[in-house]
Chains A and B, each alone.
Chain A
Amino acid sequence: MKKIVIFFGLLLPLALRAQNPAPAKPQSRPIALTGATIHVGNGQVIENGTLVFDKGIITAIGNASTTFDRTATEVLNLTGKHIFPSLVSMGTTVGLQEIASVRATLDFQEVGEINPHVRALIAYNTDSEIIPTLRNTGILVSQAVPQGGLVSGQSSVFYGDGWNWEDAVLKKDDGVWLSWPPYLARSFNPEDFTFSIKKNEKRAEVIQSLRAYFADAKAYAEIADPAPVNLRLASMKNLFSGAANLYVRADYAKDIIEAVQFAKEMGVQKVVIMGGDESHKITGFLKENQVPVVLEELHRLPSRPDDDVYLPYELPARLHKAGVKVALSYGSGWWRTRNLAFQGGTAAGFGDLTPDEALQLVTRNPAEIMGVAQQVGTLEKGKHATLVVARGDLLDMRSNVIEKAYVKGADVNLDDKHKRLYEKYKEKYGH
């Protein structure tokens, strides 16, 4: 407890700075967190638990009887607190956009339709003022994703702390993003301000061109030393070896089925559906083909007037219960991804899931989908100590107050722009 008091004491001087705090220093000695309720991230909960980590790696986790070398270890008693693995936030534009209406701050969409060669990796801005605000609701891992076009580019997975992208990246180029041409196309009528949704007439043609493109890419991948070099084709290579995911944005059930079958036919090893508004209609298909679904933004209205009013909120539970691997995301959001935890809470409140089951949908499942489960997603021995200490239930707004955060064992400064302005104006009013 004492340590925490000291920690908060440190905040005040920091508040005078008008910029993001320095990234944390690497863990210098073993740390043990004791007395807290540990939410492992796989559905398991340990009351009065002990969690020990050294050099960024979890060395022990268990109940109060867990033993560790007390002499060499800094021990923090966190009785009454809750420990969670970092939330894992997929599909975002975090680090790629700062202020939506200012074009100069936008780095997520290239010109053209097929851009598998562009990489979020190198545009990711560790100095974004958004990133520190995300840590304060439990997000220490975000996937940054290019947007737009048919093939938008390649995503990477980042830690929410680091001096530069090289330093912050957890997994480089984890996948290529494809927007499946939708079966139904939306068009807006400025005359009467309505949306019409109609069959997409150009679709067959677009799919033909994609088919040709993927076939070329696969053939190209088989050449050891291709000449001439084609950057676009070359960047598809990992899809065919299984080293990278093909993320497909698709919402309608027909689109999902078609996209999955397309990917299989083209020799893509791992397919992930992003969006999946209608995935509840085809749970059998998804389970059979072992296709995970990353839902976008539960906090949305049902897409059809006749839909169950709570349908989006109920989706995760329906998929999970049907045996589909499902993760929650905030779509292409950036600042708003800080509400990711509450989507987990919503999934539990409106669906047939316990809060700890729902927690998996924002921790373990996304980590597994992106292939970073060896490091993050659950609190298990041998994994990174990337975790948060919260006042209470992380999935509920009232108790989602982050008191400490560790990225790979490094103690992260939780200051952010909002806290700085808060402190500044508390000072003005003498609160």
Chain B
Amino acid sequence: MKKTVWTLVAWLAFGTLSYAQQTFPRNGAYDERPGRYAFTNATIVVDPKTTIQKGTLLIENGLIKEVGTNVKVPGGTVVTDLQGKYIYPSLLELDSNYGMPEIKSERRGGGRQPQQLESAKKGAYGWNQAIQPENEATALFTVDAKKAAELRKLGFGTVLTHPHDGIVRGTGALVTLADEVANDVLLRAGVSAHFSFNKGSSTQNYPNSIMGSVALLRQTYYDADWYAKGGKDQETNLSLSYFNQIKNLPAFFEVSDKLGILRADKVGDEFGIQYIIKSGGDEYQRIDDIKASGASLLVPLTFPEAFDVTDPWDAEAVTLAELKHWEMAPGNPAAVAQAGIPFALTTSGLPNTANFWTRLRTAVEFGLSKEKALEALTTAPARLIKAENLVGSLKKGMLANFLITSDELFANDNIIYENWIKGKPYIITDRHTPDLRGTYNLAYGGQASGQLRITGTPTKPEYQLVLSDSLKVTPKVSVANQLLTITYQPDSKKPGTVRLTGWLSARELGGEGSLPDGMPLAWSATLTEPYQTPAAPTDTTVRKPKEIGKLLYPFVGLGNEERPKAETILFKNATVWTNEQEGVVQGTDVLVQNGKIARIGKSLSAPAGARTIDATGKHLTSGIIDEHSHIALFAVNEGSQSSTAEVRMSDAINSEDINIYRQLAGGVTTSQLLHGSANSIGGQSAVIKLKWGAMPSEMWLPEAKYIKFALGENVKQSNWGDVARVRFPQTRMGVEQIYMDHFIRAREYDKAWKDYNGARNKASRLAPRRDLELEALAEILNNERFITCHSYVQSEINMLMHVADSLKFKVNTFTHILEGYKLADKMAERGIGGSTFSDWWAYKMEVKEAIPYNAALMAREGVVVAINSDDAEMARRLNQEAAKAVAFGGISEEDAWKMVTLNPAKLMHLDQRMGSIKTGKDADLVLWNNHPLSIYARPDYTLIEGTIYFDFKADESKQAKLAQEKARLIQKTLEAKSSGAPTQRPDMRRPRMWHCEDVLGEHSEHEHGK
């Protein structure tokens, strides 16, 4: 044993030369050693499934030579008896930036930055700074002794490290946490490829949204494929070349939340890649969907701290979802394990890695089995990087990376003594520290002089001297190796310290000392009673399963405890606004079955099991359809380039946005989520049904293929200040040329593909490069995708109609179209619809001639007119907005109503399935308590496809329940606080409300002129 300690000291003293480096010169004599060690009598956990009692582990030269109960220890081996102790494989971390250079970001800072359209990276790389497949962790790696020690202390022996920067981040390197030269620490280069949706330190404008990130990554896969197949003969692009080298490695994708997992997985599906996804810790909220993705996960232990809710008003800043997440997050690893999702655990994201073990034990308390936990830190991560024959368990031939512990690894008072890496020990806690605990009889100069009591833990003993019944003192004691020093002041009122020095023997301490007056003295302390661990209290409340609230779908205060289901419903005796030839019919019944409108008529009888709703005195209409919305989105504008036709709003759907529920409370059932208006050619729209509690993929209607265009002040950046004078166009003249240029390119692109697809000798030709942007534009030319164009003044509206005519494509809808009344004849002639605000104006120059009679004038000219919101609040009053067309311009009530139902359905080519009450159409219905155009009207029920998503009465009890649940959690939080748990101040973090003009955090006067 002395020898081990000595060797360690030698390493520390003489630097870190290692015998693996044959090519390195030596300073002085060679010091290579066989490194042959045997550990006997230990409980050896070979892997999470295999434990050997009284086993022997034999290692040599950094590798495991043998492990078992019957291991023959050869001569010349340093043998250590680990009786009563445990050996575990050391832990493996996959999401580390250990030894990577610090990522410097120049982008941060307030306000709008000057536009940077091209990459700032020098060299023959790709066009976008966020794509960095050329970054190799191996080349960037340096040893960081401090960080290594920190991780070793937790029990980690090996990490997969990579630079956490950009969307394509390059390759990872597998390194040990040894304090050696980098050459010895690096185990494997190019182990893995790494991705995220976060552009990191890139200063380039594109992408600046989540859908832009998705588009850029997808395009990179296509470009790389083209490059490999022959594109490399046409251009040199090192990034694509590197990308092709890394794309078949185990691929790790970092996301921040549960929806991000599915988003990343969807990208992977397109290219036949199953990403391993570093998750955000909220997977339990949608565990089934995540399981169905088939992804393996890297699960963090980032459990939020309790909120400080002492002041009831301050506490209101905390949402129920935040409180529930606080309560449930520790159960996340257990939920992932229970679902059978393959996963590894990671320390990544912990504010303080020292909390790792506390967090891990909490996760175990919350139901994660110890075996699973160990697996998730050893064999599971090893498998994910195909290193299961190198690290993660203790098998012959593998690296001698292991831990020596006092106890079972997850035991509360377990101590990690040593962390061995490649056959070299790192002492975490000296396991030779003697266990001195017990009660001793103290004798000074042979005279019994009281008792010495030692309690506490072996590594942190507590001392007490009982000098007489009434005199107890706590001495200062230091123990080093076999020597100890005790000092104390017998009388606290009188100065004067007794000093004892001594040494340990079997059952006795003893030695010499001196009294305060300098009198020398011999002392001894004889063990009379060995230490007894106090019996654990019989009431083991701590381990009782905790009271945990229910999940919510979505995970928002006003979410549903159960996902709503379709019902058979009979509405009796309603005033029905059919939006069909029948018009508004009184005293009519409507039967809803299988999500559809099954029957409309008088005195219908309810089928078995149907819910009957008495609609006497009430109005039944089809659901409101909002042609222009930006709710339920994580971002709205890519807007960094004049055309971003490649981005898809469907990549940014946030199914957890409370505004979905709020719209339902205003009778809205379908919304078209549009890209913003920051550029001439925006992104592809996502039409969603507001199924509160469903996943984005369940809400989305992929058949509605739309794209947002925009004209005017936003695209020419008139109101963005002087920094925005870089990007073309800056005038309406330029806007026309953007369209001309892009569509001509799209036409050529379309032709190139058609030629290629029609060619006989395809195999010998290089396929055209797939370009997602031009592909979307070509879809417009082929009448497969339709334009909704943000527009205000007549000159530019006229322009786009002419561009479309000349290039033979159609404009489907002009949205906003505040000067549509000036060109209604031209629009009608071309069959272009108008989707407008009821009465907005005066918030900027281009709306100074906007008039509330616009809808009426357009409608009378034969334009299909819709009234839209572009605003999460106004959307819940679209019935009132439609009613304004009655006052301004005298539109009939029925026609006004169609402007928020049937007409938008027509503009979105969905009128075959929605927009009116007709047998066979989707049962997207609203039962109003009053005339639907009245200011006094609100929905009693809002249904989508036969499922009740809003119920006025149920909403009241939902709120009562919310209050109750919040109260319970606040009490629980207060208990946690009083028992000493750390707390955080309520930080009311809220996603903002989007309007189409929101770019880069700037906001124009669009928001009601505020």
Q: Which residues of A contact B (CB under 8 A)?
A: 93, 97-102, 130, 184, 188, 190-191, 193-199, 252-254, 281, 297, 299-302, 304-306, 308-310, 331-336, 338-339, 342, 345-346, 348-350, 355, 395-401, 417-418, 421-422, 425-426, 428-429, 431
Contacts and interface: CB of A to CB of B under 8 A. Distances in A.
Interface string B976-993: 000000000101111111
A192 to B, nearest CB: 9
Given A98-B842, A101-B845, A418 B852 contact: yes
B304 to A, nearest CB: 15
A335 B889 contact: no
17 contacts: A130-B842, A184-B988, A193-B1001, A195-B992, A196-B989, A197-B990, A299-B874, A302-B662, A306-B320, A306-B966, A335-B841, A335-B843, A335-B1009, A339-B839, A417-B851, A426-B857, A429-B824
B853 A304 contact: no
B991 A397 contact: no
Contacts of B935: 342, 345-346, 348-349, 395-397
B658 A342 contact: no
Given A193-B991, A194-B992, A395-B935, A305 B556 contact: yes
Contact of B937 (A102, A349, A421): A349
Contact of A309 (B316, B665, B718, B887): B665
Given A197-B990, A299-B873, A349-B936, 10 more contacts: A100-B1005, A102-B845, A193-B998, A196-B987, A331-B1010, A395-B935, A396-B883, A418-B851, A421-B853, A422-B821
Contact of A338 (B839, B937, B993): B839
A398 to B, nearest CB: 4
Interface in B802-848: 821-822, 824-825, 839-845, 848
A429 B317 contact: no
Contact of B1009 (A188, A305, A336, A429): A336
A425 B1010 CA distance: 31
Interface in B558-588: 558
B1009 A100 contact: yes
A29 B874 CA distance: 45
A310 B998 CA distance: 26
B943 interface: no
Contacts of A350: 938
Contacts of B857: 422, 425-426, 429, 431
Contacts of A336: 840, 1008-1009
B672 to A, nearest CB: 20
Contacts of B635: 193
A197 B989 CA distance: 6
Which 5 interchain pairs have the tightest Cβ spacing?
Answer: A345-B935, A197-B988, A100-B1005, A190-B1001, A349-B936
Contacts of A299: 873-874, 877
Nearest to A101: B844
B719 interface: yes
B600 interface: no
B992 A193 contact: yes
Nearest to A300: B873
Interface in B876-926: 876-877, 880, 883-884, 886-889, 893
Contact of A194 (B845, B886, B989, B1008): B989
Interface centre among A306, A421, A431 (most CB of B within 10 A): A306
Contacts of A196: 987-990
B629 to A, nearest CB: 14
B934 interface: yes
A100 B893 contact: no
Given A304-B319, A306-B557, A425 B665 contact: no
Contacts of A331: 1008, 1010
B824 A306 contact: no
Interface in B956-973: 959, 962, 966
A333 B841 CA distance: 12
Nearest to B311: A254
A22 B661 CA distance: 48
B20 to A, nearest CB: 44
A401 B887 contact: yes
Interface of B: 108, 110, 313, 316-317, 319-321, 556-558, 635, 658-659, 661-662, 665, 713, 718-719, 821-822, 824-825, 839-845, 848-849, 851-853, 857, 860-861, 872-874, 876-877, 880, 883-884, 886-889, 893, 930, 933-938, 955, 959, 962, 966, 985, 987-993, 998, 1000-1001, 1004-1005, 1008-1010
B991 A301 contact: no
Contacts of B320: 306
A306 B1009 contact: no
Given A301-B872, A334-B1009, A429 B883 contact: no
Contact of B849 (A304, A355, A421): A421
A209 to B, nearest CB: 24
A246 B434 CA distance: 76
B955 A421 contact: no
Contact of B851 (A199, A334, A421): A421
Contacts of A184: 317, 988
A190 B112 CA distance: 10
B962 A101 contact: no
Contacts of A345: 935-936
Contacts of A100: 842-844, 1005, 1009
A103 to B, nearest CB: 11
B853 A418 contact: yes
Contact of A188 (B930, B934, B992): B992
Contacts of B822: 425
Nearest to A397: B883
Contacts of B889: 422
A431 B825 CA distance: 12
Contacts of B659: 301
A331 B320 CA distance: 30
A299 B873 CA distance: 7
B106 to A, nearest CB: 14
Contacts of B884: 397
B349 to A, nearest CB: 15
B807 to A, nearest CB: 28
Contacts of B930: 349
Contacts of A193: 635, 991-992, 998, 1001
Contacts of A304: 316-317, 319, 988
Contact of A332 (B844, B848, B1010): B1010
Contacts of A339: 839
A281 B312 CA distance: 12
Contacts of B1009: 93, 97, 100, 332-336
A397 B991 CA distance: 32
A398 B883 contact: yes
Contacts of B713: 101
A303 B851 CA distance: 31
Contact of B313 (A253, A308, A335, A422): A253
B955 A309 contact: yes
Contacts of A300: 873
Given A334-B1009, A400-B887, A309 B661 contact: yes
A99 B316 contact: no
B842 A397 contact: no
A427 to B, nearest CB: 11
Contact of A306 (B872, B962, B989): B962
A425 B110 contact: no
B883 A99 contact: no
Given A194-B989, A333-B1009, A336-B1008, A398 B959 contact: no
A188 B719 CA distance: 20
Given A253-B313, A429-B824, A308 B872 contact: no
B419 to A, nearest CB: 37
Contacts of B998: 193
B853 A305 contact: no
A94 to B, nearest CB: 11
Contacts of B893: 398
Contacts of A348: 935-936
